Amino acid sequence: QGGRGVLRLKAAAPRGLFYAWQSMVQVLNANRTEDGFSVPVFSIRDVPRVEWRGIMLDVSRHFFTMAEVKCMIDTMSLFKLNRLHLHLTDGPGWRMEIKKYPLLTSMSAWRVPLANGEWNWQEVKLAIQEHDPEATYGGFYTQDQMREIIAYARSRQVTIVPEIDLPGHSYAAMHAYGDLICDGVDFPVEGKKGRDAVCMGRPETLRFVKDVVDELKAVFPPGSPIHLGHDEVSAEAWKKCRYCQNRLKDLNETDLKALSRDFLQQIADYVRKDGYDAIVWDEAGELEADKHIFVMAWRGNDFAAAAARKGHPVILAPCSHFYFDYYQSSAPTEPKAIGGLIPLRQVYGYELPELSPEEASKVRGLQANIWTEYLYDMGLVEYMAWPRALALAERAWSDCDPRDYKSFRSRAALALKLLEKLAVKYRPMDEED
Ligand code: ACM
Ligand code: ZN
């Protein structure tokens, strides 16, 4: 009654104190009384289970403002999530200023708006905003704004992970710079049919990517991971392109995969020259590039296990459990989503792939991905993210029992009260959740 306690926080590194305080916020939240807090005597010894506890936000399909991104960092850090991966480029828009290639943002960061909600990239029209009054939807981060986001995140123990998605998903880049398009491709028509991989034979491509990496390095501090994409690459255009075919001959290869392997290896080497890490989606884990490239496994545990077996550091982001753009329930009241069904219980129940101790040592962490085809505002993103990100956060931080969903649920209910105070538009838990 009105007594005073002593709080002692001790950590091996400054970030440990930050996390200790986040735990205290949760303890206080759980021990509120009418006129303050009544906290029992307790002691916690704590270390994170995995070092990479991430969320990916797709800012290409829909653009989110600085304030919205910062708000996301705030909520993530409250639950000790520590990597915010920004999917900065894709067909629908290029979202970071690159000074050497101004058309990426004057032209490919703006589109003629479609109705909110469903967004069909095959119908999208990118255009220079100043010349087409209809091209009003979009936006991008200047390099100074990105520095501000990085600093804001850093003070909350969050690392920003930029992704430049290559060689596929590159319609926005190709639209702005035609030198990246293969010979014989009828662009933009074929680009919209999924032939959106940049040319592997023209010297302009490698120059372009290295220039972009140089500018990323001017903004992101050494040690940052740089994500190079490599998901869902269509090699169709490469088959008929004389530049690509010449390159294949130079490499003394016949399989088109050799083009993307060589391209990836060159870029990865370039990225790592100054102490940055190169990351790719798991398709590129099959290219036999070097083992130091991090593999982010989105297609599932089998692909994660295959990459770990080869010796790649692995981040687990399986679409079976951690794709937060999928539906949370089959109720007809859910906002329109891309498909799939991943209820809260399923996120919490995720089991790691079967791995030997050596392979398991390659697992760097867990990550949820939030693609935004249908998530046209931050309220929808928050609805899809929470409470599922609470389940991810707990599984990534603690060595808790994935089958003890009931006890997680009681903690999640308290955490949602915190989110309520922050005006985060989470999805309330149902009886049956
Ligand atoms: C992905 O979902 N294409 C990484
Ligand atoms: Zn080509």
**Does 385 lie in the same domain as 347?**
yes
Residue 307: pLDDT band with limits 50, 70, 90: very high
Which atom of ligand 1 lies nearest, measured to the CA of 281? 4
**Does 92 lie in the same domain as 21?**
no
What is the best residue among 161, 164, 281 to mutate for testing ligand 1's pocket, by most ligand atoms within 8 Å of CB? Answer: 281
Distance CA 96, CA 142 (A): 6
Stated pTM of the model: 0.97
User: Is there a contact between 369 and 325 (Cβ–Cβ < 8 Å)?
Assistant: yes
Q: Are strands 93-94 and 89-90 parallel, antiparallel or unpaired?
A: antiparallel
What is the best residue among 169, 298, 316 to mutate for testing ligand 1's pocket, by most ligand atoms within 8 Å of CB? Answer: 298
Position 143, amino acid: Q
Mean pLDDT calculated for residue range 112-124: 72
What is the best residue among 61, 87, 231 to mutate for testing ligand 1's pocket, by most ligand atoms within 8 Å of CB? Answer: 231
Q: pLDDT tens, 238-277?
A: 999 999 999 999 999 999 999 999 999 999 999 999 999 9
Distance CA 297, CA 230 (A): 12
In 3D space, the residue among 317, 235, 226 whose CA is nearest the CA of residue 280 turns out to be 226
| pLDDT for residue 185 | 95
Q: What are residue 277's DSSP bridge partners?
A: 225
**Does 241 lie in the same domain as 387?**
yes
Residue 375: pLDDT band with limits 50, 70, 90: very high
The verdict on residue 79 lying in a domain is yes
Q: pLDDT tens, 158-196?
A: 999 999 999 999 999 999 999 999 999 999 999 998 899
Which atom of ligand 1 lies nearest, measured to the CA of 317? 4
Residue 113: pLDDT band with limits 50, 70, 90: confident
Q: Give 318 Cα–ligand 1 centroid separation in angstroms.
A: 10
Q: pLDDT tens, 205-243?
A: 999 999 999 999 999 999 999 999 999 999 999 999 999
Cis peptide before 332 (omega within 30 of 0): no
User: Quick one: which ligand is closest to 326's CA?
Assistant: 1
CA dihedral 98, 102, 105, 107 (to 10 degrees): -160
Position 350, amino acid: Y
**Does 362 lie in the same domain as 266?**
yes
Q: Give 231 Cα–ligand 1 centroid separation in angstroms.
A: 6
**Does 151 lie in the same domain as 58?**
yes
Q: pLDDT tens, 340-368?
A: 999 999 999 999 999 999 999 999 999 99
Distance CA 347, CA 345 (A): 6
- Total domain count, the chain: 2
Mean pLDDT calculated for residue range 322-327: 98
**Does 113 lie in the same domain as 18?**
no
Q: pLDDT tens, 54-86?
A: 999 999 999 999 999 999 999 999 999 999 999
**Does 145 lie in the same domain as 42?**
no
Instruction: State how far Cα 421 lies from the chain centre.
Output: 26
**Does 57 lie in the same domain as 16?**
no
User: Quick one: which ligand is closest to 236's CA?
Assistant: 2
Q: Give 368 Cα–ligand 2 centroid separation in angstroms.
A: 33
> How many angstroms separate the first and last alpha carbons of the chain?
37
| pLDDT for residue 124 | 81
User: Quick one: which ligand is closest to 180's CA?
Assistant: 2
Distance CA 41, CA 6 (A): 9
Q: Give 415 Cα–ligand 1 centroid separation in angstroms.
A: 29
Which residue among 30, 47, 64 closes a domain? 47
User: Is there a contact between 89 and 169 (Cβ–Cβ < 8 Å)?
Assistant: yes
Q: Give 249 Cα–ligand 1 centroid separation in angstroms.
A: 30
Ligand 1: lining residues by beta carbon, under 6 Å: 231-232, 281, 298
Q: How many residues are recorded in the chain?
A: 433
Residue 1: pLDDT band with limits 50, 70, 90: low
- We report the CATH number of the domain holding residue 196 as 3.20.20.80
**Does 266 lie in the same domain as 124?**
yes
The verdict on residue 427 lying in a domain is no
The verdict on residue 7 lying in a domain is yes
Q: Give 28 Cα–ligand 1 centroid separation in angstroms.
A: 39
Distance CA 342, CA 362 (A): 26
User: Quick one: which ligand is closest to 182's CA?
Assistant: 2
The verdict on residue 426 lying in a domain is no
User: Quick one: which ligand is closest to 297's CA?
Assistant: 1
83 CB-near residues (< 8 Å, 6+ apart): 52, 53, 54, 55, 158, 159, 161, 225, 365, 367
Residue owning the nearest CA to atom 2 of ligand 1: 298
What is the SS3 string spanning the chain?
CCCCCCCCCCCCCHHHHHHHHHHHHHHHHHCEECCEECCCCCCCCCCCCCCEEEEEEECCCCCCCHHHHHHHHHHHHHCCCCEEEEECEECCEECECCCCCCHHHHCCCEECCCCCCCCCHHHCCECCCCCCCCCCEECCECHHHHHHHHHHHHCCCCEEEEEEEECCCCHHHHHHCHHHCCCCCCCCCCHHHCCCCCCCCCHHHHHHHHHHHHHHHHHCCCCCEEEEECCCCCCHHHHHCHHHHHHHHHCCCCCCHHHHHHHHHHHHHHHHCCCCEEEEEHHHHHCCCCCCCEEEECCCHHHHHHHHHHCCCEEECCCCCCECCCECCCCCCCCCCCCCECCHHHHHCCCCCCCCHHHHCCEEEEEEEECCCCCCCHHHHHHHHCCHHHHHHHHHHCCCCCCCHHHHHHHHHHHHHHHHHCCCCCCCCCCCC
User: Quick one: which ligand is closest to 183's CA?
Assistant: 2
Q: Give 79 Cα–ligand 2 centroid separation in angstroms.
A: 45
**Does 12 lie in the same domain as 148?**
no
Q: Give 145 Cα–ligand 2 centroid separation in angstroms.
A: 34
Domain that holds residue 23: 1-47
Residue 117: pLDDT band with limits 50, 70, 90: low
In 3D space, the residue among 166, 164, 147, 141 whose CA is nearest the CA of residue 63 turns out to be 141
**38 is written with which tokens?**
């009544």
Whether the predicted pLDDT of 50 surpasses 80: yes
Which atom of ligand 1 lies nearest, measured to the CA of 232? 3
User: Is there a contact between 336 and 117 (Cβ–Cβ < 8 Å)?
Assistant: yes
Position 383, amino acid: Y
**Does 18 lie in the same domain as 82?**
no
Residue owning the nearest CA to atom 3 of ligand 1: 231
Q: What are residue 369's DSSP bridge partners?
A: 56, 323
Q: Give 422 Cα–ligand 1 centroid separation in angstroms.
A: 30
Whether the predicted pLDDT of 116 surpasses 80: no
Q: Give 421 Cα–ligand 1 centroid separation in angstroms.
A: 33
Which atom of ligand 1 lies nearest, measured to the CA of 169? 3
Which atom of ligand 1 lies nearest, measured to the CA of 369? 2
The verdict on residue 428 lying in a domain is no
**Does 189 lie in the same domain as 75?**
yes
The verdict on residue 430 lying in a domain is no
Instruction: State how far Cα 283 lies from the chain centre.
Output: 16
The verdict on residue 81 lying in a domain is yes
| pLDDT for residue 389 | 98
The verdict on residue 61 lying in a domain is yes
